[in-house]
Structure 1
Amino acid sequence: MSMAGAGPEAVPGPGSARLRCTRHPFREPPMRAPFMMQLFVLSVPLFSAPAWAVEHCSFQGKPINLDNGNSTANLTGTVRCVDEDTKKETRTVAFKNGQQDGWEVRRWSDGRAIEQEYKAGKRQGGFKRYEEGRLVETSHYVDDNEQGEMLRYYPNGKVSRRVDRQPEDARSTYADYDEAGRLTKAGCGLRTSWEAGLKDCVWKGPSPLVFFHPNGQKRAVIPLKNGKRDGVTELFDKDGQRTATNAFSEGLLHGVTTRYADGKALTSITWVKGEREGDETEFFKDGGKKQVITWQKRQQVKLVEFFQNGERKHELVVTGDRAVESSFEDDGSLRERKNLIRGDFHNGFDPDGVTETFLPDGGPASREHYVKGKAEGRRQIWAENGTLIEDSQWSKGHVTERKRWNPDGGLVEDEAFYEDGSRKKKQ
Structure 2
Amino acid sequence: MCAPSLIRLVVLSASLSALPSWAVEDCAYKGESINLNNGNSTAKLTGTVRCVDRDTKKETHTVSYRDGKKDGWEVRRWSDGRAIEQEYKADKRHGGFKRFEDGRLVETSTYADDNERGEGQRYHPNGKVAHRYDRQPDDAKSTYADYDDTGRLNEAGCGLQSSREAGIKDCVWKGASPLVFFHANGQKRSVIPLKNGLREGVTESFDAQGQRTSTISYAAGLRDGLSTEYSGTTPRRSTTYAKGQMEGDETEYFKDGSKKLVTTWKDRKKLKRVEYFQNGERKNEFVVTGERAVDSQFNDDGSLRQRQAQALDDSKYRFEPDGVTESFFPDGGVESREHYVEGRAEGQRQVWADNGVLVEDSQWAKDRVTARKRWNPDGGLVEDDTFYEDGSRKKKP
Cα distance in 2 for partners of 1:420, 1:78 equals: 93
Corresponding residue SS for 1:357: strand
The CA deviation at 1:123 is 1.4
Query: What residue in structure 2 maps to residue 319 of structure 1?
Result: 289
Amino acid at match of 1:176: D
2:116 to 146, 156, 177: 146
Query: What residue in structure 1 maps to residue 374 of structure 2?
Result: 404
Query: What residue in structure 2 maps to residue 217 of structure 1?
Result: 187
1:109 to 76, 79, 82: 79
Query: What residue in structure 2 maps to residue 158 of structure 1?
Result: 128
* Structure 2 residue 56 is the aligned partner of structure 1 residue 56: no
* Structure 2 residue 350 is the aligned partner of structure 1 residue 356: no
Cα distance in 1 for partners of 2:15, 2:183 equals: 29
Cα distance in 2 for partners of 1:34, 1:213 equals: 18
Please give the residue correspondences for 1:274-423 in structure 2 after superposition, counting only pairs within 5 Å: 274-423=244-393
Q: Which runs of 4+ in 1 moved over 4 A?
A: 31-36
Cα distance in 1 for partners of 2:8, 2:119 equals: 21
Query: What residue in structure 2 maps to residue 88 of structure 1?
Result: 58
**Superposed CA offset, 1:215-246 (max 9, x none):** 00000000000000010110001111111000
The CA deviation at 1:408 is 2.0
Range moving further from structure 2, 272-281 or 379-388 = 379-388
**Superposed CA offset, 1:141-188 (max 9, x none):** 122221121011111111111111222212111111000100110011
Q: Structure 1 32/297 Cα, relative in aligned 2: closer, same or farther at 3 Å?
A: closer
Q: What is the aligned-residue RMSD (CA, Å)?
A: 1.9
Cα distance in 2 for partners of 1:156, 1:34 equals: 18
Q: Structure 1 153/123 Cα, relative in aligned 2: closer, same or farther at 3 Å?
A: same
Query: What residue in structure 1 maps to residue 210 of structure 2?
Result: 240
Amino acid at match of 2:330: P
Range moving further from structure 2, 341-350 or 232-241 = 341-350
Cα distance in 2 for partners of 1:345, 1:223 equals: 45
Corresponding residue SS for 1:111: coil
The CA deviation at 1:49 is 3.9
Cα distance in 1 for partners of 2:191, 2:90 equals: 48
Query: What residue in structure 2 maps to residue 426 of structure 1?
Result: 396
Q: Structure 1 43/62 Cα, relative in aligned 2: closer, same or farther at 3 Å?
A: closer
Cα distance in 1 for partners of 2:19, 2:39 equals: 24
Cα distance in 1 for partners of 2:6, 2:181 equals: 22
Amino acid at match of 2:227: T
The CA deviation at 1:344 is 3.8
1:169 to 118, 122, 139: 139
TM-score using structure 1 length:
0.88
Size of the aligned set, in residue pairs, is: 391
The CA deviation at 1:420 is 2.1
Range moving further from structure 2, 244-253 or 361-370 = 361-370
Amino acid at match of 1:296: K
Please give the residue correspondences for 1:24-35 in structure 2 after superposition, counting only pairs within 5 Å: 33=7
Amino acid at match of 2:374: R
* Structure 2 residue 268 is the aligned partner of structure 1 residue 268: no
Cα distance in 1 for partners of 2:386, 2:125 equals: 88
Please give the residue correspondences for 1:55-74 in structure 2 after superposition, counting only pairs within 5 Å: 55-74=25-44
Gaps of 5+ in 2: none
Cα distance in 1 for partners of 2:210, 2:25 equals: 57
Cα distance in 2 for partners of 1:140, 1:283 equals: 51
Cα distance in 2 for partners of 1:263, 1:32 equals: 33
Cα distance in 2 for partners of 1:198, 1:385 equals: 63
Cα distance in 1 for partners of 2:267, 2:6 equals: 39
Corresponding residue SS for 2:40: helix
Amino acid at match of 2:358: L
Range moving further from structure 2, 77-86 or 104-113 = 77-86
Cα distance in 1 for partners of 2:373, 2:396 equals: 14
The CA deviation at 1:32 is 5.5
The CA deviation at 1:54 is 2.2
Cα distance in 2 for partners of 1:35, 1:150 equals: 9
Q: Structure 1 32/306 Cα, relative in aligned 2: closer, same or farther at 3 Å?
A: closer
**Superposed CA offset, 1:16-63 (max 9, x none):** xxxxxxxxxxxxxxx965996xx79x999x94344xx32222212222
* Structure 2 residue 67 is the aligned partner of structure 1 residue 100: no
**Superposed CA offset, 1:294-317 (max 9, x none):** 001100010000011110000000
The CA deviation at 1:72 is 0.7
The CA deviation at 1:351 is 0.7
Cα distance in 2 for partners of 1:202, 1:208 equals: 13
Amino acid at match of 2:140: A
Cα distance in 1 for partners of 2:229, 2:200 equals: 18
Query: What residue in structure 1 maps to residue 102 of structure 2?
Result: 132
Cα distance in 2 for partners of 1:125, 1:149 equals: 11
**Superposed CA offset, 1:326-372 (max 9, x none):** 00000000000000011242122111110010112211111101111
Query: What residue in structure 1 maps to residue 163 of structure 2?
Result: 193
Cα distance in 1 for partners of 2:311, 2:106 equals: 64
Amino acid at match of 1:257: S
The CA deviation at 1:85 is 2.7
Q: Structure 1 345/192 Cα, relative in aligned 2: closer, same or farther at 3 Å?
A: same
Q: Structure 1 121/35 Cα, relative in aligned 2: closer, same or farther at 3 Å?
A: closer
Corresponding residue SS for 1:129: strand
